[in-house]
């Protein structure tokens, strides 16, 4: 679809019944019907609103919005539920403030820094390996969904707070952030608990500013960051918003990816065996180091394929600031645009036999040949996930350590069901028989 033609633009086709998309089951179920009936750009009217919303499932149209003309789009609806927690953190902010925050934070995600931060990922996984070893020796059943949630939370907390993570946990008699892995919508105490966390972070920020302990973690980088024009540091409130943003954005997405990747490895033991053999040839079974992670090609492909089939962020949105057009279609200012990586990743134009699990779709030559926005588990353009490289390192390290030691045999009797809320989860926890290799 080309972005510029000379014809008068028209409104895209769509169903007559008004519908407001959201991260819920009704939207998840309706999308394939709209796509089948109306094509890759669908207009949905909304009761009481002049501008409805569009669903975009065309890779060119998506590229136009996220990359080429990104300046005309701000974050769309859907973040309201988390805004209370994340304030004006970079996942929700827009415009000049977002640009400033992203510039301040981006240096923490350059590869040299991430290579240093890897020690926290190693530490969390080393402890988890001990725990899994005991389970494997007993031939026990392991709940990988819960394990992955706990592990991912620990990884992001250690990377943000460094040595102070253990100090906070000791002081509080347990990990004060642990409730974040539970279903927050069912927890009436959640607002109070969040206030408690804000206070904890505020105290930590003050303590760091006053005592200046030697630290090398994300918080240290955020504290040291200075605006290149004004020389200003982030305020306490800005820091707290960003810390909360990183905790929320960085743990469940990674946990879900671990969960799905284990699912596919258990379902495809031949793939697990190939990945295991490759890892062993690189590490000999020891804790992987930064330089080694890039050599785990099989597991990179498996994780990428898991992210294609079950992208944790399955639906996200933008709102048009000014009028725009995509091909023949008009996009009036104020229109909300919805993009679903889940359905785009099944588009027959880019993904033959899309439901089949095939990690070799991510062979380097196949990746190069593909449309640049046919695969967007981390979004694309300037608002692309800042943690994408970190997340892949986290995955590579986890499987690089665990696969050579453990074999997981899928044994859940429940049929696999999806839970398409803010993130796309499995409705039931996945359990496996764990055995030593």
Judged by the rule CB under 6 A, the positions of this chain that interact with ligand HEM are: 90-91, 102, 156, 245-246, 249-250, 253-254, 257, 312-313, 316, 377-379, 383, 385-387, 390-391
Closer by beta carbon to ligand HEM, 54 or else 390: 390
Least distance CB 283 / ligand HEM (angstroms): 22
Strands 141-143 and 316-320: unpaired
Q: What are phi and psi of 338, to 5 degrees?
A: -110, 140
Least distance CB 58 / ligand HEM (angstroms): 17
Least distance CB 378 / ligand HEM (angstroms): 5
Determine the Cα–Cα distance for residues 329 and 10; give it in Å rounded to an integer. Answer: 5
Closer by beta carbon to ligand HEM, 136 or else 293: 293
C-beta of residue 266 within 8 angstroms of C-beta of residue 409: yes
**Interior CA angle at 255 toward 116 and 424, to 5°?**
135
Closer by beta carbon to ligand HEM, 118 or else 136: 118
Determine the Cα–Cα distance for residues 335 and 14; give it in Å rounded to an integer. Answer: 14
Least distance CB 345 / ligand HEM (angstroms): 12
Considering only CA atoms, give the Rg of the chain. 22
Contacts of 364 (CB under 8 A, 6+ apart): none
Question: Which DSSP string do the residues of 352-416 spell out, in sequence order?
Answer: TTTTS--GGGGSHHHHHHS-TTS--TT--GGGS-TTHHHHHHHHHHHHHHHTTTEEEEE---SPP
Closer by beta carbon to ligand HEM, 323 or else 388: 388
Least distance CB 2 / ligand HEM (angstroms): 24
Determine the Cα–Cα distance for residues 339 and 318; give it in Å rounded to an integer. Answer: 8
C-beta of residue 253 within 8 angstroms of C-beta of residue 394: no
Least distance CB 315 / ligand HEM (angstroms): 9
Neighbours of 117 (CB within 10 A): 25
Least distance CB 435 / ligand HEM (angstroms): 27
Closer by beta carbon to ligand HEM, 82 or else 198: 82
Closer by beta carbon to ligand HEM, 304 or else 407: 304
Least distance CB 313 / ligand HEM (angstroms): 4
Tell whether the torsion through CA atoms of 271, 274, 277 and 282 is positive or negative: negative
Residue nearest to ligand HEM (CB): 387
Least distance CB 76 / ligand HEM (angstroms): 8
Closer by beta carbon to ligand HEM, 132 or else 390: 390
Least distance CB 229 / ligand HEM (angstroms): 19
Closer by beta carbon to ligand HEM, 136 or else 244: 244
Question: Which DSSP string do the residues of 116-177 spell out, in sequence order?
Answer: HHHHHHHHHHHHHHHHHHHHHHTT-EEEHHHHHHHHHHHHHHHHHHTTHHHHHHHHHTS-TT
Phi/psi zone of residue 378: left (φ > 0), alpha (ψ -120 to 50 degrees), beta?
alpha
Closest to 55 in 3D by CA, of 94, 15, 107, 4: 15
Closer by beta carbon to ligand HEM, 136 or else 386: 386
**Interior CA angle at 346 toward 345 and 352, to 5°?**
115
Closest to 313 in 3D by CA, of 374, 378, 258, 260: 378
Closer by beta carbon to ligand HEM, 90 or else 136: 90
Closer by beta carbon to ligand HEM, 144 or else 249: 249
Least distance CB 156 / ligand HEM (angstroms): 6
Using CA atoms, how far residue 326 sits from 61, 64, 331, 337, 354, in Å, is 6, 8, 7, 12, 26
Closest to 390 in 3D by CA, of 251, 222, 277: 251
């Amino acid at each position: 679809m080309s972005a510029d033609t000379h014809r008068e633009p028209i409104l895209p086709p769509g169903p007559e019944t008004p519908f407001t998309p959201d991260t819920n089951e009704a939207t998840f179920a309706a999308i394939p019907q709209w796509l089948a009936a109306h094509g890759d750009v669908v207009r949905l009217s909304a009761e009481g609103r002049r501008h409805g919303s569009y669903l975009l499932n065309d890779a060119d149209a998506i590229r136009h919005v996220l990359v080429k003309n990104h300046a005309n789009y701000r974050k769309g609806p859907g973040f309201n539920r988390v805004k209370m927690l994340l304030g004006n953190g970079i996942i929700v902010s827009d415009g000049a403030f977002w640009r400033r925050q992203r510039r301040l934070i981006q240096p923490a995600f350059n590869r040299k820094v991430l290579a240093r931060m890897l020690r926290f990922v190693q530490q969390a996984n080393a402890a988890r390996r001990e725990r899994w070893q005991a389970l494997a020796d007993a031939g026990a059943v392991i709940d990988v969904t819960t394990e992955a949630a706990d592990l991912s939370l620990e990884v992001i907390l250690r990377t943000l707070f460094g040595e102070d993570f253990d100090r906070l946990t000791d002081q509080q008699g347990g990990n004060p952030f642990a409730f974040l892995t539970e279903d927050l919508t069912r927890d009436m105490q959640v607002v109070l608990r969040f206030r408690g966390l804000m206070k904890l972070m505020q105290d930590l920020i003050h303590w760091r500013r006053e005592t200046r302990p030697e630290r090398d973690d994300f918080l240290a980088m955020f504290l040291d960051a200075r605006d290149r024009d004004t020389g200003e540091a982030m305020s306490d409130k800005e820091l707290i918003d960003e810390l909360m943003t990183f905790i929320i954005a960085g743990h469940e997405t990674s946990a879900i990816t671990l969960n799905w990747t284990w699912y596919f490895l258990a379902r495809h033991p031949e793939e697990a065996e190939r990945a295991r053999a490759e890892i062993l040839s690189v590490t000999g079974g020891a804790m992987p180091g930064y330089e080694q992670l890039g050599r785990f090609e099989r597991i990179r492909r498996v994780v990428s394929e898991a992210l294609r089939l079950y992208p944790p962020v399955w639906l996200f949105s933008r709102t048009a600031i000014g009028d725009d057009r995509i091909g023949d279609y008009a996009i009036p200012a104020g229109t909300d645009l919805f993009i679903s990586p889940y359905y785009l990743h099944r588009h027959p134009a880019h993904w033959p036999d899309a439901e089949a699990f095939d990690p070799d779709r991510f062979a380097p030559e196949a990746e190069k040949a593909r449309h640049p926005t046919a695969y967007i588990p981390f979004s694309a353009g300037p608002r692309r996930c800042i943690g994408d490289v970190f997340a892949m390192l986290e995955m590579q390290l986890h499987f690089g350590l665990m696969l050579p030691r453990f074999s997981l045999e899928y044994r859940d009797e429940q049929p696999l069901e999806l839970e398409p809320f803010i993130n796309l989860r499995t409705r039931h926890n996945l359990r496996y028989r764990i055995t030593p290799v």
